[in-house]
Amino acid sequence: MAVNFKNKESVLEVKPWEKVGEPNTIIQIHDKRIVMRKFKNPRTNKVEEFYQFGTTPYACIILPLNTDNEVLAVKQFRHGADKILLELPGGNPKTPEQTPEEVAEEELFEESLGHRAEKIIKLNSEPLWFNPATFITPFHAFLALGCRQTEESFKLDQGEYLELTKIPLKKWLAMCTSGKIVDAKSMAVTFLALDNIGLKIT
């Protein structure tokens, strides 16, 4: 339903919506769930329902660079996009006690098929959002420097099938800016890492 406004100032005034009650889980399968949350519209004072998707409390996405200054990217089939995408490694905590730094190190090791980093840098101070309108799980961004292949054994999560691809950093950046990389979270983490790898957007 359209709402008529008397002046532009009333359109520009944004106020937070008050949460009403507790979230109601509609369906949950493993760590994925759809919840219904109620909020009070600050303009009409009516309580409205919103259906949102979430997984674990947070996720971690990592930009790994090996000692040859190559990005360790992964190819995976993504069911939402219905295609194989090239993206950065990442994942969710397996236990509630894990910190984002621990998750980043673990997911880097697993999805890069056994690489360890000399240094891991957290890139964000505030949580980042995949889709703040409908997705209630935020993510943290990391840069992993000096990644080297180890002889340690690793295992992937059940149902996880991926292919490791090494891409020179300059080529990866060109793929991001030309639209060849279509995974938005990978592009966001790459952008956040630029200062730490001595690059600027001009």
- DSSP-assigned states of every residue in the chain: -----SSHHHHH---PPEEEEEEEEEEEETTEEEEEEEEE-TTT--EEEEEEEE-SS-EEEEEEEETTSEEEEEEEEETTTTEEEEE--EE--SSTT--HHHHHHHHHHHHTTSEE-SEEEE--SS-EES-TTTB--EEEEEEEEEEEE-S----PPTT--EEEEEEEHHHHHHHHHHT----HHHHHHHHHHGGGGT----
Convert the pLDDT of each residue in 84-105 to its tens digit.
Answer: 999 999 999 999 899 999 999 9
Query: In this structure, which amino acid lies at residue 68?
Result: D
* Res 132: pLDDT: 94
pLDDT at 201: 65
* pLDDT (0 to 100) of residue 3: 61
**Which pLDDT belongs to residue 124?**
96
Fold of 14-54: N-terminal domain of TfIIb (2.20.25)
- Interatomic CA distance for residues 163 and 68, integer angstroms: 19
Domain 59-197 has CATH 1.10.3720.10: no
Tell me the backbone φ, ψ of residue 170, rounded to 5 degrees: -60, -35
Answer positive or negative: Cα dihedral of 145, 151, 154, 160. positive
Q: What is the pLDDT of residue 153?
A: 80
**pLDDT 10s digit of each residue in the chain, 202 long?**
566 656 555 566 789 999 999 999 999 998 899 999 999 999 899 999 999 999 989 999 999 999 999 999 999 999 999 999 999 999 999 998 999 999 999 999 999 989 999 999 999 999 999 999 999 999 999 999 999 999 888 777 777 789 999 999 999 999 999 999 999 999 999 999 999 998 876 5
Residue spans of the domains in the chain: they are: 14-54, 59-197
**According to the model, what pLDDT value does residue 134 have?**
95
Same fold for the domain at 14-54 and the one at 59-197? no
Confidence at residue 199, expressed as pLDDT on a 0 to 100 scale: 81
Residues in the chain, how many?
202
pLDDT at 202 (0 to 100) = 59
